[in-house]
Every structure is written in C-alpha cells, then in structure tokens.
Structure 1
Amino acid sequence: MRVVIVGHGMAGSRLAAELHARGGDRKVTVLGAEPHRAYNRILLSTLLAGKITEPDVELAEVSGQGVDLRTGVTAVAIDRAARQVRTADGDRIPYDHLVLATGARAVVPPLPGLDPAGLPDRVAAFRTLADCRRILATARGARRALVLGGGLLGLEAARGLAARGLDVTVVHPTPWLMERQLDAAAGAVLADTLAGLGVSTVLGVPATAVTADPDRVRLDLADGRTLAADLLVLSCGVRPDTALATAAGLTVQRGIVVDDRLRTSDPDVSAIGDCAQHDGVPTGLVAPAWAQARVVARLLSGEEPTARYRPRPAVTRLKAAGIDLAAMGDPGAGPGEELVFSDATRGTYARLRIDGDRLTGAILLGDNPAVGTVVQLFDRGGPVPADRRSLLLGRAFGTAPATSSTSPALMPDGATVCQCNDVSKGALVACWRGGARTVDEVVAATRAGTGCGGCRDAVAGLVGWLAAADSVAVPG
C-alpha cells in the first residue's frame, strides 16, 4: 500500500511513526512544507522564554525503512481521480490512501497596517518555529512588547517574553482573559497573577490599526489610546488549513469533515489533527491529534479494522512559568451544584460544577493539591467524594479519592498520567517491570511527557516510587 501524508507537524509525524512501528509491506511518503525537522509546537513558548533550545523541541523522526520523508516540499494539488498529489516542484506522487495533516494557520486580524501575505517588520504571528525565530530576533535589544490576544497561546507568548526581561502588555478585546476556558472571576485572578510576573493587560478594548516603522510599532485602540512597543506579537486564534481539501472537492466546513474512522467524503482520503473537523468540531489540541493518528494507523495497517475515534473530554493547561491553571468543561453556568473558592491575594481560584455525582466542569488556578484528582474525575467520569471541599482545597479538608496524583500508591492502574499520549499508570508500571529504570527510559518507551510536558513531574514521581518499592521488596 502507498500512503501519502501531507503535513509533517505533530499529527503527520506521529502517524508516520505509528505506521513505521507496525511494519508491513507499506510505502509511506511524508510531505512537509516546513524545511526543518518536526517539532513540538506546544514547547515554543518555553523556547521563547529561553528555558530550552531548538533541539529540545524537535520530535523523533522516522525515515528510511519504508518511510520517505521530504521536508521543504509543499503539496499544491490533489488529483483524486488519478490518486496523485502534485507538489510545488512539479512532482506527482501516487497514493492508495492519502492523509491530510495540514494543520492550521495563524489568523491575522483584518486591521489597517496588517497584510497576511507579509507582516511589517517588528510584527510577528505566534504559531510556527519560523514565527518563534522571528520573535526572538526582534526581541533581542527590545525593551517593550505588545501581545494582541489574551487566549492560551497569547498568554504563553507574553509570559515567555516577560521571562526574557521585556515589559509586556497583553491587549484583549473581551472583558477577561481566556474567555473560552475561564469565567470572569478566574480571568481577573489570572490578570493579577500575570501582573505580578511582569505582564500587564488591557481588556475589553479592540485594536483598530497597526503602524510599524523600522524602530517602533504602534497599536491603536478603539478607546482612542495608542500603545507603542519594539515588538508586536499576534495571537488571534488559528484557522484550519483546508485549502488543499477545498480545491480537491472534499467536504469542508470549519475544518475538513471526517467520520469516526477519520475518513473524509472520499474514502481514500483521511484527515487528522488541526485541519480535521470531527462531529462538528475541529480539534486544536495535541492529545486528540495523536489519538487520531493512532486510529488511522490501526486502520491502514489492518491491525484493528474496527478502530474508531472517540474524543475524550478536553483539559486545557496553561504552560507558563509561575502560573498553574487547568480548565475543563464549559465555563458557563450549567445544571447541578457549583462550588467556588477564591483567594485573589494568593492568586488562587477554584470552581467546580457537579451534576449528580459527576464533575462536568472545573477551573483550578494557583496552588491546588487536588488538581490531579479533579482532572482524573473529569476525564473518566468517576464519582466525586462526599466532601466536596477536598476537591476545592486539597486533602487538608477531606480525603481525596484513590485517583489522587499526590500518592502513586493510591492511583488505580487505569488512571491517566499523560493526557497528551493517553498513558496510564498501569502502562508506566508495566514499562518499569519490563526493564526501564530511569525517567528517560520510561518516557522513551511510553512517550509520556513528550506532549505538553506537564506530567513529567508525575512520571518522575511514579518512577521514584517504583524504585523505592523495589528496593524494599528486594533487599541489597
């Protein structure tokens, strides 16, 4: 079978790795428009902060042994009748099955002074490694930066630049930050936390124009103010890249429409990752993209002909130094009971929504020892404890259920440790029993911690617990 994957981002590279791991008489061709190795887009904000270097964001690549990886090659057309993909250099690549993993593109807002075809000097989007390089090049010698957009990526970019010593202001058109994940109260606490970390905010005021010259960039606001800086970062959302699919006549709405098998309106073409729209919703997160890659690999390899993609509840984590935030479910009001705790002076906010005895939504900002338990309850739909205070405030006000991440011994084997790669405690224990003896060895074998990196401490804690347990069970 000839499989062509268009896109070498986090979804496309994972699918190539999944197919390679399954072996078989199969030729896989991967076309990546970007000229460099696949990289972990989630870690770009950490790169922006200077905490890691470019090699640290690179993903493991698969090439040779049935995988033909072509970087810097752009697919420009799909001939579905001939089952061929045409590239910008005129090559025609035949396929038996085509997988579109074209991702999403950063939205450039329709403001005077901005042209999506070419942004002015001192203005950069924040989506790709090339964008990150552009931001870093401009940030050298800069003293002040503006970030347009107070969503997840905008705040991560702002925190990263502040960590480099820049004076950063986030401009957001709605009255509070991360309005898709947070309520107004949580947004206010988050703004205060950011202020303490060197990031100020201007909220509820849309931008109206951008003016850039070789030395400065100015952002005009709807209330008549003008903000000036050395750098403007655009983080105004992303849009699924559906151009190839649209031109090929595939069904496209917000994204490329796919069914439970990730097949498009053409059964010989699949779509995964940010470009795909399953059950009316584009993904936008790494965990579903990697889950989709696994499903397609199982189907194409014949390993599991009945495999189907079943999305799991999404948990949003803000990956910015000095901020602990987890949000899940709809932040709006809903049925059932609601519990709220707020301590703005300590940057702590917790809100839980419970319907029956099931957690249907939560916002946890600041230091909360129960965050691991709350994520597990939301992810798996387990019953909440009778004393709800243990979830709001941690174990001091009650006994957390056995899913608590604070004690590996209490976690059931089915508890998910790595949300991005869907790795359970049981899988990590099995890896240890199979011979892995260090955190790096366990990570390499299971991929736990290779997504957002938020579970790395939990993996390390579990490995430490296993090592201690073995040392007791098997003396000297």
Structure 2
Amino acid sequence: MREKLVIIGNGMAPGRMLEHLLEAAPDRYQITIFNAEPRVNYDRIMLSPVLSGEKTFEEIVIHGDGWYVERDIMLYKGHRIVAIDRAAKTVTSEHGETVAYDKLVIATGSVPFIIPVPGSDLPGVITYRDLDDVDAMLLAAQSREKAVVIGGGLLGLEAAAGLKARGMDVTVLHVMPTLMERQLDAAAGYLLQKAVEARGIEVLTKANTKAILGEGRVEGVELADGTIIPATLVVMAVGIRPNVAVAKEAGLEVGRGIVTDEKMVTSDPDILSVGECAEVGGNVYGLVAPLYEMARTAAATLSGSQDKRFVHSDTPTKLKVTGIDLYSVGDFADGEDREEIVLRDASCGIYKRVILKENRVIGTVLFGETSDGAWFNDLKKKQTDVSEMRDTLIFGQAFQGGGNADPLAAVAALADDAEICGCNGVCKGKIVSTVTSKGLTSLDDVRAHTKASASCGTCTGLVEQLMRLSLGDSYNPAAVQPMCSCTDLGHDDVRRLIKAKGLKTIPAVMQELEWKTSCGCAKCRPALNYYLVADWPDEYADDYQSRFVNERVHANIQKDGTYSVVPRMWGGMTSSKELRAIADVVDKFAIPAVKVTGGQRIDMLGIRKEDLPAVWADLGEAGFVSGQAYAKGLRTVKTCVGSDWCRFGTQDSTGLGIRIEKFMWGSWTPAKVKMGVSGCPRNCAEATCKDVGVICVDSGFEIHFAGAAGLDIKGTEILGSVKTEDEALEVIVALTQMYREQGRYLERIYKWAKRIGTEEIRRQVLDDFDRRKAYFDRFVFSQKFAQVDPWSERVSGKDKHEFQPMAALSLQQAAE
C-alpha cells in the first residue's frame, strides 16, 4: 500500500522535488497536488522573456498535463488550500475537496508586497509574480501608452524591459539612490541605470511614491516631492513576503517563513515545507538555486534518506534583460578589515570589483563582462588564498599562470566541483562526465540530461565552452555561427529578435538587427522570408522574390535549363481521368520524359520555362495542384494499400495518408518534409526513414519521426503511440508546427530533433496535451493564409477551396 503524499503548491521547488523523489522512490507514494493557479508547473524565472515576447508560455512549461497522467499524479488546478487538519491529517481546498495525507509538503510560495498608499487598489495597479500578472501587462501593453514600474530591483527592471519591448512608454521609480542596491554596489548601479536608460526607459531614483491617482482606474503616480507622472498601468515590484497563512492557521511554527530544520521538516514531523514560503536556518530565499537545493533535500527526506541536509550558500544575482550583463555574489560592503580590486573600462562599459578579506574572495560585482563570475564564486566558496595571483586576479581566470588568455584553458583549469549552473547546482564534473558517457553533442542534450543552463540561461556560454573542451573541433553549434556574411547573428538569435521586437518585414529586420548589407543575400533573404511567414502568417506578405527559383515557378530546374513538373497525387493514389489529363499535357507540350517518382507521383521532365504557366493551367483544369517537389514544405505522404486491399493491413493507411496530405500541404517548413504511412509493421511505405512516419498496428498508430534517407541515412525515432486517426493527425500536425517554430532554415527534422532532444519533443507534443493543442491550433491558423494556389486565377469556374489545404477550411467546407 503506497503512502499518501499531498503537496500544496505546484511551483518550481515542488516540481523539482517531485523529479528527485520519483527518481529515488518511484513507487513509494500516491501523490496529490493542489495548485492555486489554474495551470500546470512552469518556469517562473522565465516570465520576463514571455513578457518581452522572446518566449511563449508553452515554452516555459516544465511539466505538462501528460507528465502527471503518465506518473499517476492527481493534480487539482485552481484549488487553493484553505485548511490543514493536522489531527485528522487532511487538507481541504476552497472548492470543498478534502484529501488525506501521510506526508504533507507545503510550497505556497510568496505574495507580493503592495505599498500602502492611496490608490493602490485602483484597476490598472498590478503586481508581478505569476502568469496572470504577465497576461494583465500584455493586455495593458496593447494600448502602447504609459506604464510606471515601482521598484528598481530584479523583477521591476525585467518588467520595465518587457513592457518597453511591447511598445509602452515606461518609467521606473526607485526609492534608493541606485538600482538593485541589495545586489550591486553604487558604481555598478550607476552603470545599470545608464544601460536601462539607453533602452528608452526613464529611471527616477530617490523617488518616494506618495499616491496612485485616478478616478475609477489608474491615471498617474504622485511622488512625495509633488511630481506627477501620467500612467495607464502601474506595476508594483517592491518585494515579496512568504505565504504562510495556511501553515500559521494550522499551528505550525512560523517566523518570517514556515520554520523547518535542515531536512526541510517543519514543527510537525509529517509536514515538510519548500520554496519561498520556507524558513531554514533563519533564512528565507527568493532565488531559484536555494529553492532547488530545498527540493533535493526534501526529496531525500521523503525517500527515507538520512544523509541530505540543506546547506546555505550565497546565490549569484543575474538580470534577465537581453543585452545587460551583470553578476554579483557575496559581501561587497565597505569595511576596514577588507580590501578591494577594481577594474573600470569606461569606453566598453565594463566594471569589475572583487572584495578580499585576508587574501580570500568574499564578494564580487561584475558589469558588462561577466564570464569570470563562476570562477570568482568558486574561489569564494573554497576560500582559496589568492595572494599569489593578487596582481592579475581582476583580469579573470584566463590571465592566471603566465597570462594565458585562452578561455578554454581557463575553463579547463576549473575544478570538477566548480559550480557552472547556479540555478540547478550543476558542477563542471557532472557536465563533462555526462557529455562523455552519453555521447552528447548539443547544448539541448546537455540541458535535457543535466539541466545545466535550462533555467535562466546565463551560464550557457560556460556550458558551451565545456562542450568544446570535451568534444574538441567536433562541437561547432550552428547557433553561434552567423546566418551569412550580412550579419553576425545566428539563426536562433535572428528568430528570437524578430518575435521580441515585433519585426514584420525584411527591411525592418535588416534595419533593427543592423544588417551589414543593404538588401541581404541569397542565403539570408530566403531564411528571413521563411521566419516572417512562420511567425506572422496573418500579417506578413510572402515575398516570392526572396524564394528560390523553383519555388517561384512551381517546378524544378534541371541541368539543361528546362523544368520538371510534378502534380500532386494524394497519398500516391490516382485515376484514369488524372492519367489521361497528364498524357494530354505530355502530348500537347511535347514533354520528352515522364517518370514515376519515389514519392508515388508522376514527374514530367524537360518543360521549357515559357510553357510552365500553360502547363499548370491545363493541369489545374483537370483538378491537379502542385506536388511541390521543389518545396521547403510538405512534399509527399507515401502510403501502402493498407487494410482496404492488403491481407496484412491493420488500418486504412491510404486513407490516413491522404487525410494528412490534404490537411497539411502548402505548409512551408524550414526544409523539405517527407512522410509515410504503412498499414502494418511490414512497412511497405518505408515510414521508418521519413521525416514523419506512421506504422499502423492492431491497437492504433505508432508515430515515428526524424528519419533520413539521403546524404545521411538514419532510422526514425519513435515518438509514441495513439489509438485513433484523429489523435495521429493532431500529433503529426503539432510535431510539424513545433519544427516550423523552432527549426533553423534548411535544417531537416532529424537535425532539429538531435539539437532539441527527442525527450523534449516527446514531452511537448505527446505528453503535454495543452501544448499539443496550442501547436495544432497555430498550424491551422497559419494555413488560413497559406499562398499555395498561384495558378488558380487561371482556372475558370472552379471553387478556390478546391486548391486549399483542409486545415485552411471550415469543418463544413472540408467535409464537403
């Protein structure tokens, strides 16, 4: 009989605790979670990129619905716990749901502090703690009016940067003389203010808020000196307090937070607490690294281990605002018993300060150049005597031992227990050993297996240096390679900035991202055109001049300058009428060669360019649309005859293949996409070497992906199994949309999957029902604007719907 574990709260700390617990004791507990928010577990520290537009909510979900279902965890969403009965060992939610527990974990997080000034309860005054707050800010940002952020700490500055990115006029009010005074010294605070103001955000320090003004809703903020600042939105970001109400009412010991021992056990031995609500060793925490340490400790306690104890350590501070690099850790206050080493480079905006006590590092502040942060923190943790490197210490690790400035040498010199990822507590040794033992080759592989750089991402550079150190020249990620000579940006950065800055034309992209050429080149223009089509399907007009010639003329150019035309045959099926029409076109235009392709279609080769419009007009009259044999998009869905004809067929593979092809054709993708549907495991449609494949089995449909049969030969990965055709279609469409949104231009699915990780794709597309539906819906939405029938204006008397993908039509039209 499994013990009953109830968890109050579903934030990052309890989510990480569950991961560790299920790894250590997967069958010990029957788990129930009550979450006050009406959603699954997500990465709160990435809310700022969601606000700025650099990420979507789906991208920051940690555990989707499928994760809980697969692990038999009961998740109550939108259920706030209002009572804990310690005698009966039950908890009760505001909706009247009562559940018994053997062990209880309280992870109620924190509540934002609201300045008690007149007008603080007006509509338009919001805090910044969860997704609901972000949604409210995004709604307000649509007005493009005036926002005031009260608080110049981490959250306040991230909120200000996000709102500015969304087009609002933003002012930050901070009561202290410099920004982030708890994490930065005055010099770094001054540089930070300059960097924030350079982004068009007004900053007022020594600004004491007297009142929030407005009749019925926010209209402005009045300062103590009488200054009035107009505003339609006010964001309070002045601090948080542990949410201890339900624990206090239950009679647990409460100080600043819910008091626990070093094993995260409260004053009740059957109740633990983790996260921002917990107080351990007299401290409460708001940064993710100590919360994850709490999670590891609580998981060990619940699994029966007696060894794990929570140990306090200083956590580095980093700001998640693109283009602003700062790092601080430890004690950097002035004092007679300490000395400081300072480096300033005014022209480059660099400031470095290391504080020493008895020749040991006790604090570090870095601004503008932060790559040595992990090294300084390691020196601090180990209390290393730095007297022998005193003269070169401020220049960083690369300059120790003879002035070697090779960053890889510096990383190589780090001890194996040096912490690389502060958020997740991952050391150098774990990363290197995992890369070596598991044969990892991409940053996403490392994130999936170690979680290093999977949270805030500021340690990404260090992780990549470790990969270069481990893999040598074989590690050469495309992400750090420029798209072309026209820009220094890689594909991922360009795509991220297109979304973050709301860029919707090629000239806008080139201007805002500082292209080095006036009009781009043959490498970057097609890529930019694809990214804009994919990201703004309803607003961007596809620029055919930025497509390759094959895509412009809907035919493949041959070595002699003639073209080949491939009409689409849905799922490889045809009829005598279609065959006669093809024969008539071959005769009429004296086409010299006709070939059956590997994709079960007919290719007409040797057509002169000037004949292409007339050829397509005749084919269109016969009901053909382009087979898109030239496309960076869906080309074919190869099928076998399936259960209709074959004595081994288990499902209607031909019907499913036709349904997929009609639903998805015309969908531009980063590179060509070929699919296959086989009616049984004998696999006559060769589905296991396709970009996406389906193997029909007695119980339903096995979905495969990431195969290759060209220059590279690779069998598919199994994504998972579903029971119905509808589920199969939804999964395949969602998978394709995820690839469309994340793939780099000309990157095939198998290369994208290797970069992202099979497990991550499976998690998003198969396990997370909400995210799968969101991908599916975005695909359908984009298909409404697909430009796939350029010759249909020549087809008199025909309904244009005949030339559109089913996904672009209403359900009634598709059924007809």
Change (3 A) 1:362 1:403: farther
Within the alignment, does 1:112 sit opposite 2:112 as a pair? no
Change (3 A) 1:181 1:215: same
Match of 2:40 among 33, 37, 41: 37
Q: How does 1:36-435 map onto structure 2 within 5 Å?
A: 36-61=39-64, 62-64=67-69, 65-115=71-121, 120-213=122-215, 217-302=219-304, 304-334=305-335, 335-384=337-386, 386-388=388-390, 390-394=392-396, 398-399=400-401, 407-435=410-438
**Whole-Å Cα distance in 1 between the matches of residues 398 and 87 of structure 2?**
65
Change (3 A) 1:221 1:448: same
TM-score (norm 2): 0.55
Percent of residue pairs bearing the same amino acid type:
38
1:364 deviates by: 0.8
1:125 deviates by: 0.8
1:387-444, Cα deviation, whole Å (9 max, x unpaired): 3354423468654899977744333222211111111121112212232332212211
1:228-254, Cα deviation, whole Å (9 max, x unpaired): 123221101011000111100111111
1:312 deviates by: 1.7
1:216 deviates by: 5.6
**Whole-Å Cα distance in 2 between the matches of residues 406 and 135 of structure 1?**
45
SS in 1 for 2:264: coil
**Residues 119, 211 of structure 2: 8 Å contact kept:** yes
Within the alignment, does 1:14 sit opposite 2:16 as a pair? yes
The aligned counterpart of 1:474 is none
Change (3 A) 1:314 1:395: closer
Which residue identity lines up with residue 50 of structure 2 in the other structure? L
SS in 2 for 1:409: helix
Which residue identity lines up with residue 432 of structure 1 in the other structure? V
Where relative contact order (Cα < 8 A, 6+ residues apart) is larger, the structure is 1
The aligned counterpart of 2:459 is 455
SS in 2 for 1:354: strand
What is the RMSD computed on CA atoms of the aligned residues? 2.3
**Residues 122, 214 of structure 1: 8 Å contact kept:** no
Which residue identity lines up with residue 113 of structure 2 in the other structure? V
Which residue identity lines up with residue 364 of structure 2 in the other structure? A
**Residues 20, 67 of structure 1: 8 Å contact kept:** no
Which residue identity lines up with residue 349 of structure 2 in the other structure? G
Which residue identity lines up with residue 116 of structure 2 in the other structure? P
- Identify, as 1 or 2, the structure richer in strand: 1
TM-score (norm 1): 0.92
Between stretches 225-234 and 368-377, larger displacement belongs to 368-377
**Residues 33, 74 of structure 2: 8 Å contact kept:** yes
**Residues 313, 378 of structure 1: 8 Å contact kept:** no
Which residue identity lines up with residue 6 of structure 2 in the other structure? V
Change (3 A) 1:405 1:175: farther
**Whole-Å Cα distance in 2 between the matches of residues 144 and 406 of structure 1?**
49
1:60-86, Cα deviation, whole Å (9 max, x unpaired): 354143422222111111000111111
**Whole-Å Cα distance in 2 between the matches of residues 353 and 245 of structure 1?**
40
1:386 deviates by: 2.8
**Whole-Å Cα distance in 2 between the matches of residues 42 and 300 of structure 1?**
26
SS in 2 for 1:326: strand
Flag the structure with larger Rg: 2
**Whole-Å Cα distance in 1 between the matches of residues 289 and 320 of structure 2?**
15
1:321 deviates by: 1.2
**Whole-Å Cα distance in 2 between the matches of residues 408 and 142 of structure 1?**
45
**Whole-Å Cα distance in 1 between the matches of residues 110 and 13 of structure 2?**
11
SS in 2 for 1:136: helix
1:211 deviates by: 1.6
The alignment covers a number of residue pairs equal to 466
SS in 1 for 2:317: strand
Change (3 A) 1:346 1:470: closer
Change (3 A) 1:41 1:326: same
1:190 deviates by: 1.4
**Whole-Å Cα distance in 2 between the matches of residues 460 and 213 of structure 1?**
54
